[in-house]
A = this chain, B = another copy of it.
Amino acid sequence: MVAHKQKVAIIGSGNWGSAIAKIAGFNTARHSDVFEPIVHMYVYEEIVDGRKLTSIINEDHVNTKYLPHAKLPENVVATPSPEEAARDATLLVFVLPHQFILNVCKSLKHALAPDAHAISMIKGVEVADKNISIFPDVIEKALGIPCAALSGANIANEVASGLFSETTVGYRPHQRALAEYYVKLFDTPKFRVGMIEDVAGVSLCGALKNIIAVGAGFVDGLGWGGNAKAAIMRIGLMEMRRFALEFFKDVRPETFTETSAGVADLITTCYGGRNRKCAEAFVKTGKPFNVLEAELLNGQKLQGTETTRDVYEFLQSRGKIEEYPLFKTIYDISFNGLDPKLLTERL
């Protein structure tokens, strides 16, 4: 079946990209029957303590900027050029901030092997002109290759430390064979990879949970306790699923209620995570989100409020916003001055 070994390229090298590179390097070495041993990783070049980040990674085997406490395997090789990282690659792992995807895809287009395929770990959705897209679709369209999705309850530092986690691969109809490569590339005794035939569901879980985490943070800021927080999470999970089933094809409802990408990641994100934290501070301090982002996140972006706005604008453009009362309320509290105390009034 397999004509040649899979050549893996990781496009991205932030906190999560580095954690996943650690696992991929471990598994390509372990499964040398399936994979070429070297994992190329595209690293946006920066100078860190007077040295190039690619040099630090290739010489010291640690990403001192984004994942300083984990050793990367020596078969993970950093390069500052996306084309070079992806040269003849058959298996691309996209794990970079979504605003860079289209440009990176342009530079990759002619570097790939003819039978290349991809998996996206990018959170968020793209909204434009009354349309909403998941990033695996954006990548498929840009590169003309199939693209799956991976998402789960995966705080990067915990995964990199070897603590137990699960994750979920969502694959396209009839592409289970490709999904099995992703399981082989990422599954370890401490990082359990499940799979489900549902790219859109897995992607949307990773995006929409951040909206609910903002709502959960409001509950924390209000001091409403554990019952109210669990209620917001439950109602949020149902609204996430309804949204996916209404606007995307081939979505499987159980992706939301049964997988690590769904219910488990929602739990992790609503109890940890920066969206929850900033939303709590929003209620307690009354400061707007852009101020809190600058004060609390040390340069990181707040995905939850961005996705809240994207989804709100999409639903507005379709005349459907009233059917998603929790999404709407979280938007109105975040951006329209609605009193957080009214969080549950429309539910």
Give chain A's interface residues, CB within 8 Å of chain B: 152-155, 158-159, 163-166, 190, 192, 224-231, 233-235, 237-238, 254, 257-260, 263-265, 267-268, 271-272, 343-344, 347
Contact = CB atoms under 8 A, between A and B. Distances in A.
Dominant SS at the A interface? helix
B163 A264 contact: no
A164 B226 contact: no
A228 B263 contact: no
Contact of A164 (B228, B254, B258): B228
A242 to B, nearest CB: 11
A257 B264 CA distance: 12
Given A263-B237, A271-B271, A227 B154 contact: yes
Nearest to A152: B227
A105 B199 CA distance: 53
Nearest to A256: B257
A271 B226 contact: yes
A226 B258 contact: no
The 5 closest A-B pairs by CB, nearest first: A257-B257, A165-B227, A153-B230, A230-B264, A234-B264
Q: Max chain B CB contacts within 10 Å: which of A163, A164, A192, A264?
A: A164
Contact of A227 (B159, B226, B229, B235): B159
B164 A272 contact: no
Given A165-B228, A226-B267, A257-B257, 14 more contacts: A158-B227, A159-B227, A163-B224, A164-B228, A166-B227, A166-B231, A190-B344, A227-B268, A229-B267, A231-B260, A234-B259, A234-B260, A237-B263, A257-B258
Contacts of A229: 267-268
Contacts of A343: 164
Contact of A166 (B158, B234, B237): B234
Contacts of A165: 227-228, 231
Contacts of A265: 230
A219 to B, nearest CB: 8
Contact of A226 (B155, B234, B344): B155
Given A233-B264, A234-B263, A263-B263, A227 B164 contact: yes
7 contacts: A155-B227, A158-B227, A164-B228, A190-B344, A226-B271, A230-B260, A231-B264
Q: Max chain B CB contacts within 10 Å: which of A229, A230, A263, A272?
A: A230
